[in-house]
Amino acid sequence: MNNITDLTAAIAQTGAHGDDFVRQRTLKASIGCAGVGLHSGQKIRITLHPASANHGIVFRRTDLEDQPLFPARYDGVIDTRLCTCLGDASKGIKIGTIEHLMAALAGSRIDNVLIDIDADEVPVMDGSSAPFNFLIDCVGIEEQNAPRQVIEVLKPIEVEFNGCTARVEPADGFEIDFEIDFTSKAIANQRMSVKFDDGVFVADISRARTFGFLHEVEAMRSAGLARGGSLDNAVVLSGDEVMNEEGLRYEDEFVRHKILDALGDLYTAGMQLQGKVTAYKSGHHVNNLLLQALLADETAYQVTPMRKSALHGVAEPVLATA
């Protein structure tokens, strides 16, 4: 990628004014939290630190002797079963379940942060991104003297795997149109289209929780997974019934969470996309395949500074549920 690293260079390239550009952002101070790992069941602590311009989002395994660094990038993803997982497979090092935290950072337009973590997965918290957005709100956001860059999609790219598809095409701003289809009557067919204008993620998507079926949870536990999963951090279904006593946070919480996951997965591009993503039954694997296909084709995208005209106020999402 041909990155533009400072405002002066960006202005010189486009002939525009410095006020036209959105600036990169980081946190004003460090903040941490602790929670349970969805699969390990162990207590995990993470700390988010401010980082310099063009640093990107980087995880650091503080529990390991050499404290290795893992940039949150699509080409560093080593596993997409049940979650998106960074790491070094040759050394048996991983950092799993990054997608909810990545979605919170994407939704808050945080470009640069160092994330200390003392275990091999990000704590699941309540199964959504809302606790991570709360951390960001607690310390505040600081703008930096460098333009925020986006990957502008120049032509359509589509991938397919086992009947699941994802497509990205040119568009103003960033939009995800997602459709899911389950035999369970509690979910059935749901479709939602969200244009990620300023504030939309926190208002309409961030509280949507991960979900699964009771028989799947039992099978995963038999395989040594989902040890930390509970009704406190996931929506659990038994057939056509939601088992959580409090019910759903949104009538269409399931498709909203799939959009949340996609946003987090796609942020591993290293910067926000400028384009429209259309997905059908997509998951972590297909989301990653889409980034691989897009970024392998140098004619399909360009890196460009983000314009302030791309930011708008909170807009209502478009929902179609069959």
pLDDT digits (tens, 9 = 90+) for 235-270: 999 999 999 999 999 999 999 999 999 999 999 999
Q: What is the pLDDT of residue 321?
A: 40
pTM of the model: 0.91
Q: Are strands 149-153 and 272-280 parallel, antiparallel or unpaired?
A: parallel
Q: Indicate whether 320 pLDDT > 90.
A: no
* Token pair recorded at residue 191: 């479709």
- In the chain, the N- to C-terminal Cα span, in Å, equals 41
> b/e for 249-262, b at 16 or more Cβ within 10 A?
bbebbbbbbbbbbb
* Token pair recorded at residue 222: 């038999």
CA-wise closest residue to 228 among 74, 56, 85, 38 = 38
pLDDT band for position 220 (50/70/90)? confident
Under 8 Å between Cβ of 22 and 306: yes
pLDDT digits (tens, 9 = 90+) for 62-84: 999 999 999 999 999 999 988 99
Q: Which residues form the catalytic set?
A: 284
pLDDT digits (tens, 9 = 90+) for 9-40: 544 455 445 578 999 999 999 999 999 998 78
What's the rounded mean pLDDT across residues 131-143? 98
CA-wise closest residue to 34 among 217, 205, 228 = 228
Alpha carbon of 54 to those of 25, 50, 183: distances in Å? 10, 12, 45
Q: What is the pLDDT of residue 310?
A: 72
More confident residue, 235 or 223: 235
